[in-house]
Amino acid sequence: MNKFFKFIDYFESGKIFHDCTAYQISIEYLDKAIELSTYLPINKNRLVKAYELRGNSKIFLNNYQESILDFSKAIELDPKNSFLYFGRGMCYEYLNQNEKALKNLRISLMLDPEFSLALSMLDYLENEKNI
């Protein structure tokens, strides 16, 4: 099978396992897809989605530092995606790095002022935690 089709297979399998909450298996497939992407002209949006899915899977496994790295890589590829900043902000919040969390949530809201979950989380951090 050619490498492009392998990438698609790994990506789709990672997505399916993520949706089934088999996060460790999802990460294994997404690792393979992302590794292959370094050798292929992969659609940027699909690669962003691979990093996002892997970052989300790592959140569910409480691996916040590595999740931040995945969201950061995705942000490099798509700096106008509000959800990526939200995900990274949540990781910082879980690590009690509240200033970094606030910064990311504010960027998320700047990019999408209608993002109600980001607005709620920002309100919580600013008011409930009295930051």
Q: How far apart are CA 53 and CA 36, in angstroms?
A: 16
Q: Which two tokens stand for residue 62?
A: 């409480």
Rounded to 5°, the CA angle 8-11-12 comes to 85
All residues at 6 or more sequence positions from 39 whose CB lies less than 8 Å from its CB, including other chains? 3
What residue ranges do the domains of the chain occupy? 1-79, 80-131
pLDDT tens digits, 20-57: 999 999 999 999 999 998 877 778 899 999 999 999 99
| Domain 1-79 superfamily per CATH | Tetratricopeptide repeat domain (1.25.40.10)
pLDDT tens digits, 97-115: 999 999 999 999 999 999 9
